[in-house]
Amino acid sequence: MSAQLIDGKAAALRLREQIAADVRDFADQFGYAPGLAVVLVGSDPASEVYVRNKVIATEEAGMHSFEFRLPVDVTEGELLNCIDRLNSDPTVHGILVQLPLPKGIDVSRVIERISPTKDVDGFTITNTGRLAAGLESLEPCTPAGVMMLIKGVRPELVGLSALVVGASNIVGKPMARLLLKERCTVTIAHSKTIDLRERCREADILVVATGVPEMISGGWIKPGATVIDVGISRISCEDGRTRLVGDVDFVGASKSAGAITPVPGGVGPMTIACLLANTLTAAKRQVQLPAAE
């Protein structure tokens, strides 16, 4: 292996320590800590784990955590009412509705109900549009975390060729916008892209978020490229065991990449750290300064 390993776990830990210090300063100044409300509908096992980790991280950062567990058969109206209450609760500065939602609930309507100022996922049309327009917004957590990891190993990005594989609203599209903001030359590839191998070979920065295990071969990586693997899948091995892999052939890619994230321990930890950062940012923007006497 010649590539530098990008340690997302260590970077996330440093960021979380910084946020905890900033939360203490915030609480000293304003007399209360920021609050994050997490809404979980149903009991999807993966979502349960994500929510538990978010709650623990929020409390460890010194913020208030409010957890709302709604039954799988909750009506859309009841869920919207829950969001309305959180929107008008002054102790709640960030709201996150864990996805996916059960069938029959209109995800867009639910997300749009969240006040853009409390939308710490950065999923509302307001925050998506503001990001697209290059305005101040709450940025989606995974792409924001990826950007920090890239800048950690490659501070100067202007003019570099960046390829984002995967065009989801949660990762791919906002990722491309953040790279564009850094003045990279950005391409988004997706399931219909014809010449993916050639596109990959040209990329100085390669971010892969497809959910397809090891779909990017090691031989496709441009020598010296920065490779960020957002995917995480559990696959079966020949000996009957299972292991976690990303969307990139890690061993192969490590031979030519300049720097690469491992799976696990790369992007994942940064997502939660950026959620905490967004909650603090949202709280700061919601601060009601006392009226001058």
Q: Is 121 in the site for ligand GUN (CB under 6 A)?
A: yes
Q: How far is the CB of 171 from ligand GUN (least distance, A)?
A: 8
Give 23 or 170: the residue with its C-beta nearer to ligand GUN: 170
Q: ∠ at Cα 149 (143, 152), nearest 5°?
A: 140
Q: Is 138 in the site for ligand GUN (CB under 6 A)?
A: no
> 159-194 as b/e, with b when 16 or more CB fall inside 10 Å?
ebbbbbbbbbebbbbbbbbbbeebebbbbbbeeebe
Stretch of residues binding ligand GUN (CB under 6 A), selected from 26-34, 66-74, 93-101, 206-214: 93-101
Q: How far is the CB of 289 from ligand GUN (least distance, A)?
A: 30
Nearest to 204, CA basis, from 145, 267, 258:
258
Q: Which of 19, 95, 96, 189 binds ligand GUN (CB under 6 A)?
A: 96
Catalytic residue among 98, 118, 222, 229: 98
Give 96 or 105: the residue with its C-beta nearer to ligand GUN: 96
Where is 55: in which H helix or E strand? Answer: helix 45-60
Stretch of residues binding ligand GUN (CB under 6 A), selected from 92-100, 155-163, 199-207, 228-236: 92-100
Give 22 or 121: the residue with its C-beta nearer to ligand GUN: 121
Q: How far is the CB of 156 from ligand GUN (least distance, A)?
A: 29
Nearest to 279, CA basis, from 128, 61, 72:
61
Catalytic residue among 22, 54, 222, 247: 54
CB under 8 Å to 204, separation ≥6 — which residues?
Answer: 160, 161, 162, 184, 222, 224, 225, 226
Stretch of residues binding ligand GUN (CB under 6 A), selected from 95-103, 158-166, 176-184, 232-240: 95-103
The yes-or-no answer on residue 247 being catalytic is: no
> 206: which 2 tokens?
């390669």
Nearest to 97, CA basis, from 45, 64, 50:
50
CB closest to ligand GUN, residue no: 99
The yes-or-no answer on residue 119 being catalytic is: no
Nearest to 114, CA basis, from 140, 134, 88:
88
Give 100 or 129: the residue with its C-beta nearer to ligand GUN: 100
- 189 has which bridge partners? 165
Stretch of residues binding ligand GUN (CB under 6 A), selected from 97-105, 131-139, 159-167, 249-257: 97-105
Q: Are 98 and 41 in contact (CB under 8 A)?
A: yes
Q: Is 98 in the site for ligand GUN (CB under 6 A)?
A: yes
Backbone angles phi, psi at 188, to 5 degrees: -110, 120
Cite the active site residues.
54, 98, 121
Residues that bind ligand GUN (CB under 6 A): 96-99, 121, 141-142, 170
